[in-house]
């Protein structure tokens, strides 16, 4: 088997046995990038870093382009971050470096993580390795596509409303949004600060647990980082689900869901029942409000978070061509008009609107209250359930351009992933089959805050019994 196609734990075994070396692994992955990246467009740029001798985890990793790596360009796939090299590493990068991880390069994404298809990047659209005419999902589409295509052994993404899980689902890989506060956000260029989490995108559940172990932990630089010990997640990789209480929310099985997706997920439910899990029908009554709540809360925060891209200190600066005596306001408006794409502009304006005088109570404050109700739904559900099981997305990967002209339709594709962000709970997507077009289907597992171990043990039991994760995208056209 090709080295680039292996998981991190397989590679570590080969290195331990002397069958290969970190240098050989890095070379194999780089060769794969050279061979296929013009098809996926997963990487925006790559670096030639060499593995450091005798390090604990010298695995080549791809980094979403909204995570700061000292001295390397970071752009959020936007024109506005022209030539910006941060003079600091994100907390997760420090942790990756500490175990000898080899940073391959920066992964494509929706501009500023605004999107569910990776079509809004200033560096071109990302293509799904399973079908190059289809989107890889988003916003971490580059991360999921790279892992699915063997261009990275594993990768980091960020998830504000499903941006790790939905692309993982579309690309047939494993993606986890950790509990809010489990992973430091220091060095992650913020979208919705109260929702954002960095998380792993990997080829299987074992790698996912291992990568989370590397990046998780308390960080004094992030006030929302939680000071709880990080368990050894590898220990939770057991197959036993006997007595596990799994909730099936009726609101997640709705009209509009692709029948093959529903069938695959129901088959997974049948599997768990057979293995001795207790299946419960539950209700999360405020689910229908999640998308509206999210688009208010997230865009409000985003409109403020993106105010710093103003052409003053760093990044792009533009002045209107016609006026020679441009003042500061002209510079601001021209810089931001040219630097941001349309989706970013829409979200900045929406967020500005919901916070503006006269609308704050009707929109923003109301959304924060709706957020309480949605969170209460989940908190209540986790009293009686260990896991909430659902599809990750209503459909498999859609065609490039299919939803690009209808922002609202695009937003609605995040309906199953958004509640986990609003409630801060951990949620993972793992492959659970393929549709008739050969496209991967994703199964989402949510758990109570800091119960990632339950997610891993459940996901591992399913994965080991099915083997979907061993299927690899062929990358042909």
Per CB under 8 A, which of residues 141..200 are in contact with other proteins? Answer: 180-181, 185-190, 192-194
Does position 65 interact with other proteins (CB under 8 A)? The reply is no
Among 8, 15, 244, 300, binds other proteins (CB under 8 A): 300
**Could you identify the residue written with the tokens 């999640």?**
290
Where in 86-105 is the site for other proteins (CB under 8 A)? 86-88, 90
Distance in angstroms (rounded) separating the CA atoms of residues 410 and 428 = 21
CB 69 within 8 A of CB 156: no
Out of 64, 79, 177, 336, the only residue in the binding site for other proteins (CB under 8 A) is 336
Burial degree of 329 (CB within 10 A; 0-12, 13-18, 19+): exposed
Among 11, 67, 282, 441, binds other proteins (CB under 8 A): 67
The reply to whether 45 sits near other proteins by the rule CB under 8 A is no
- Tell whether residue 443 is a contact of other proteins (CB under 8 A): no
**Nearest distance from residue 53's CB to other proteins, in Å?**
29
Listed residue (203, 73, 76) closest to 467, CA to CA: 203
For the question of residue 139 being annotated catalytic, the response is yes
Closer to other proteins by Cβ: residue 231 or 285: 285
Candidates 101-109, 118-126, 233-241, 298-306: pick the segment binding other proteins (CB under 8 A).
298-306
Angstrom distances, CA of residue 159 to CA of 126, 132, 280, 331, 414: 17, 23, 28, 32, 11
Catalytic option among 116, 139, 225, 390: 139
117 binds other proteins (CB under 8 A): no
CA angle 151, 185, 58 (to 5 degrees): 35
DSSP state of 177: E
- What DSSP line would sit under 1-23, residue for residue? --GGGS-HHHHHHHHHHTS--HH
Is 74 one of the binding residues for other proteins (CB under 8 A)? Answer: yes
To the query of whether residue 177 is one of the catalytic residues in this protein, the response is: no
Choose the catalytic residue: 163, 169, 236, 390. 163
Q: By C-alpha distance, which of 155, 191, 190, 188 is closest to 174?
A: 155
Residue 308 Cβ vs other proteins, minimum distance, rounded to whole Å: 5
- Is 283 a residue of the active site? no
Q: Is 255 in the site for other proteins (CB under 8 A)?
A: no
The nearer residue to other proteins, 131 or 310, going by C-beta atoms, is 310
| Residues 59, 63, 64: CA angle, nearest 5 degrees | 155
Annotated catalytic residues are: 64, 139, 163
């Amino acid at each position: 088997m090709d080295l680039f196609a292996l998981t991190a734990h397989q590679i570590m075994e080969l290195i331990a046995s002397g069958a290969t070396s970190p240098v050989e692994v890095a070379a194999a992955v780089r060769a794969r990038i050279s061979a296929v990246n013009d098809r996926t467009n997963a990487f925006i740029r790559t670096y030639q870093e060499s593995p450091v001798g005798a390090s604990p985890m010298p695995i080549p990793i791809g980094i979403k382009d909204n995570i700061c790596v000292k001295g390397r360009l970071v752009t959020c796939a936007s024109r506005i971050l022209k030539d910006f090299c941060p003079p600091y590493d994100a907390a997760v990068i420090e942790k990756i470096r500490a175990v000898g991880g080899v940073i391959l390069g920066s992964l494509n994404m929706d501009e500023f993580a605004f999107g569910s298809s990776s079509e809004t990047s200033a560096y071109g659209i990302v293509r799904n390795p399973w079908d190059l005419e289809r989107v890889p999902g988003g916003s971490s589409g580059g991360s999921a596509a790279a892992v699915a295509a063997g261009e990275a052994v594993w990768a980091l993404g960020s998830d504000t409303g499903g941006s790790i899980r939905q692309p993982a689902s579309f690309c047939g890989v494993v993606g986890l949004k950790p509990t809010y506060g489990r992973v430091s956000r220091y060095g992650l260029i913020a979208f919705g600060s109260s929702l954002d989490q960095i998380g792993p995108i990997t080829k299987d559940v074992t790698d996912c647990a291992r990568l989370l172990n590397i990046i998780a932990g308390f960080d004094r630089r992030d006030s929302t980082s939680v000071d709880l010990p990080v368990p050894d997640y590898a220990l939770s990789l057991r197959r036993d689900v006997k007595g596990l209480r799994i909730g099936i929310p009726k609101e997640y099985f709705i009209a509009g869901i692709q029948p093959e997706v529903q069938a695959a997920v129901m088959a997974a439910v049948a599997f768990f029942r057979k293995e001795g899990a207790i299946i419960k029908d539950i209700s999360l009554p405020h689910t229908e409000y999640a998308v509206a709540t999210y688009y208010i809360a997230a865009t409000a925060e985003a409109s403020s978070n993106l105010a710093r891209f103003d052409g003053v200190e760093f990044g792009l600066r533009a002045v209107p061509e016609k006026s020679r005596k441009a003042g500061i306001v002209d510079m601001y408006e021209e810089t931001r008009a040219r630097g941001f794409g349309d989706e970013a502009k829409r979200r900045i304006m929406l967020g500005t609107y919901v916070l503006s005088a006269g609308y704050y109570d009707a929109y923003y404050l109301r959304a924060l209250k709706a957020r309480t109700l949605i969170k209460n739904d989940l908190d209540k559900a986790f009293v009686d359930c260990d896991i909430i099981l659902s599809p990750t997305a209503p459909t498999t990967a859609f065609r490039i351009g299919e939803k690009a002209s209808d922002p609202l339709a695009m937003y609605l594709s995040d309906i199953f992933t958004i509640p986990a962000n609003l409630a801060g709970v951990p949620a993972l997507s793992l492959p659970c089959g393929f549709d008739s077009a050969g496209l991967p289907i994703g199964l989402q597992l949510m758990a109570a805050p800091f119960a990632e171990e339950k997610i891993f043990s459940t996901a591992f039991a399913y994965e080991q019994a099915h083997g979907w994760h061993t299927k690899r995208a062929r990358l042909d056209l």
